[in-house]
Structure 1
């Protein structure tokens, strides 16, 4: 263990890191196969035989999302025992996996209530897959923030995590409805969800930017809301109030910055009518950049 000690890593910490890594690998592998089981298909067949790019994008989002959640479960500090570390890592990891799947289920049934997401992805719809993958990653970013916010491993901890998760899903649905309303207003009451079902990749990319921005800004709440294990209502109201404030601030700043960065460009025409993926990608980058800057300023 001399090599590890040269880097300030004790034998105990090295074993704990190996335990965390082993559990993470098992959970990531499980997530890959769970993608197929959840829609009753063989993931290997979809990925390697049918070359279903949409299924691959959706699976990538799930795996990346779980990886993000696991970074919130790994503290890098030595637990009281190896068993305690294994139990804690497994509990947070499995709970995170369940929340990601549950969040995607809610997103399918509530946010994307006009379309059959799974059926479209199995048919190879890349646009819907992009939104699905982003929803998983956005949910994971939020879960990670909450895992870092809470303390210890108790029933109250899991209640607090689920409470913040529920608020985040509510905000993602609200964001989707706001974007749909704007899309319909600009396109003679056309449905944004139907546009995604028809393969509108530019709209999918732009909407993904908004979801990621919302998730990243949600992260700042963990630095302002004091964790109180038994203050169930207080925790919910704190996350709700902060997330609404951040959604309003983000919306205003995104509108302003896009007018400046993309001046003299008709965004609605380019993205929604002309399917300009390049402009949509720039919009995504602006949304994420604003969220990162705003969050950094508030931490």
Structure 2
């Protein structure tokens, strides 16, 4: 779709996209209130539940980002000619994101009840949950741009690729848990989320979003051949694995150049140093975006 400008403005396109965003946000608000069993105004303004506010803000951001991405990829003419396809794409986008969030909550972090912790005003839980939500949004956008699915065979490849990437997320999380236990006398990372250590949540979210950006770069560099299931999945796995390794190599170097004499693990794990955690968040996101700039644009 050609870019809009003041000399070439399409008010209908703006109106349609804004109406879709508003409808999606209203649906999201109703669903969030149903899960919280009270209105958001009471929970956010009266109880000052910052954790729920962070979680809700990330959900609104995901809705807006996804719909904006689709309206950039699909022309208004196409939407007018094939409105059911656009509705189906929006539904599939949010379905994949929801499934990814469900996998994260019920499998990857199965010992930690994020929803319950967020309602208990645990900001660490909100950061962990929001990070994975944004990461899944990035992955779904990357998969769409990689395949541009037009039929059932493409959708099958997208689905299998999505679960393959979820496996990378799970493996990465297990390696982080193993490292945390090794440097903290066998302590469980998931159990520590319940202690509301905000810096741990920020670091976890940063690593998750950074990994998603790296995988997006892998999707951008991996070749796609229509209807070649095995070839596509092998290419995806090899490219995304390479980006995963480059991500951690780059962040290791950049962290030590940024804070050469600081024990980042000690500051984050034991002293709840939010400043150091934010630095680690920024480093992972920066390297992830750098990989996108180099490999997928």
Whether TM exceeds 0.5 here: the answer is: yes
- Residue 188 (structure 1) aligns with: 185
Matched residue count: 291
Closer, same or farther in 2 for the Cα pair 1:198/1:73, shift >3 Å?
same
Q: Specify whether residues 71 and 169 from structure 1 end up closer, same or farther in structure 2 by C-alpha distance, changes over 3 A only.
A: farther
- Say which of 70, 75, 80 aligns to 1:77: 75
**In structure 1, what is the equivalent of residue 161 of structure 2?**
164
Who is 1:93 aligned against?
A: 90
Contact 2:142–2:219 (CA under 8 A) maintained in structure 1: yes
Q: Structure 1 segments of 4 or more deviating over 6 A?
A: none
Change (3 A) 1:208 1:17: same
- Match among 243, 247, 253 for residue 244 of structure 2: 247
CA-to-partner distance for each residue in 1:141-188, whole Å, 9 max, x for gaps? 111122222335432343333233222221111111111111111100
Distance change (3 Å), C-alpha of 1:98 and 1:36 = farther
User: d(CA) in 2 for partners of 1:235 and 1:205?
Assistant: 34
Structure 2 equivalent of residue 174 of structure 1: 171
Structure 2 unpaired stretches of 5+: none
Q: Is the 8 A contact 2:36 2:119 kept in 1?
A: no
Q: Secondary structure at the match of 2:77?
A: coil
Counterparts of 1:43-82 in structure 2, within 5 Å, are 43-44=39-40, 45-74=42-71, 75=73, 77-80=75-78, 82=80
Which of the residues 31, 36, 42 maps onto 2:38? 42
What stretches of structure 1 of length at least 5 have no aligned partner? none
1:287 to 270, 284, 288: 284
CA gap of 1:198–1:230, structure 2 versus 1, over 3 A, is: same
Cα deviations across residues 191-215 of structure 1 (Å, max 9, x unaligned)? 1111111101111111111111111
Distance in 2 (alpha carbons) for counterparts of 1:94 and 1:116: 26
- Calculate the aligned-residue CA RMSD, in Å: 2.2
1:121 equivalent in structure 2:
118
TM-score (norm 1): 0.89
Deviations for 1:99-133, whole angstroms, at most 9, x for unmatched residues?
22211111011121111111111111110111101
For residues 287 and 5 of structure 2, the distance between their equivalents in structure 1, rounded to whole angstroms, comes to: 41
1:7 match: 7
Q: Distance between the aligned counterparts of 1:6 and 1:253, measured in 2?
A: 41
Query: 137, 141, 156: which is aligned to 2:138?
Result: 141
Residue 251 of structure 2 aligns to a residue in which SS? helix
Residues 17 and 68, structure 2, Cα contact 8 Å, conserved in 1: no
> 1:100–1:136: 8 Å Cα contact kept in structure 2?
yes
